Amino acid sequence: MVGIIYYGYSDLPYARFFFLTLTTVLGTISMITTWNPKFKSAEWRPYRAAIFVAFGLSALCPIGYGFARFEFQEAVRRCGFWYVLMEGVGYISGALLYALRIPERFSPGKFDIFGHSHQFFHVLVVISAFSHFKGLVQSYTYSHIRSTLTNTL
């Protein structure tokens, strides 16, 4: 979200600073959770998944602010909303599949090599990353178009 926040709020420095700080803090918590051996155990798996879901849902803060501050279409273009929405759905779906151990919980041993929840999680992360990239490109493009129009008027 850093790039999308940077370009989406390039003309609003205080909002940009606030949302970049929020993203940095929550990203750091997610990183610590990933690296801390305590969270690698099976009993902490749901908590680790919840932290990743919370980090993903934090994207709603700058997007919600955009919808409150601007008209719908303006907010959609500023933040690449539809791409960010697809990104969020992918990340959350992957985290839920991983935390709930779907599908291997229903057929133990059958999905040990292919079709494991962790594999689905990673596929969804890659798809979500591509969706994020598309949203970033939209935000970047709109920021530069907006900047060009403002400077020529």
> Which residues participate in the annotated binding site for Zn(2+)?
118, 122
Q: Where are the alpha helices (DSSP H) in 70-110?
A: 72-79, 81-100
The whole-angstrom separation of Cα 33 and Cα 22 is 17
Q: From the centroid of its chain, how far is CA 111? A: 28
The whole-angstrom separation of Cα 81 and Cα 71 is 13
Annotated binding site: 118, 122
Amino acid letter for position 61: C
